[in-house]
Amino acid sequence: MSAPAQQPGLAELHRRRRALRLEHQHVRRWRLLLRDRIELAVAAAAPPRVPGEDPDVRDLLTGPDTGAGSLPGAAELAAAVRGALPLAEIEQLPRLRALDGRLADYQDRLGAALDQLTELYITELARDPGVRALV
């Protein structure tokens, strides 16, 4: 018969928790990048209205920096946002959304594992006689 598995110590739990948190942050960043890419693909096909185009809004603004000269034009904004993206970029949306979905599933699993490990870490902290409670 095998011996019961021994619980990892506080240092090991802390190391594992730190690794999970870091991985979770990396996945979150990748998801943000994918969402930005999706947004750019949509904007390449259907750009938003140019700021300052609406005369009703222009009439409501007053001050020295509210003139048309202070706002970037449509061509300048399109060049900055779209860059060299082809109009066919919109065709990438299903692939990009699928990637984001797969990352979302992984992020959820990481979150659940992190929650579980945090509970175990807190339990072990409470049991450790060398750890004093914060008052």
Instruction: Report yes or no: 96 and 38 within 8 Å, Cβ to Cβ.
Output: yes
pTM reported for the whole predicted model: 0.72
What residue ranges of the chain have pLDDT lower than 50? 134-135
- Between CA 22 and CA 26 the distance in angstroms is 6
Residues 6+ apart with CB under 8 A from 43: 81, 82
- Between CA 70 and CA 98 the distance in angstroms is 40
- Between CA 24 and CA 2 the distance in angstroms is 34
Phi and psi at residue 77, to the nearest 5°: -65, -45
Closest CA to 123 of 13, 6, 19: 13
Three-class DSSP category at 29: helix
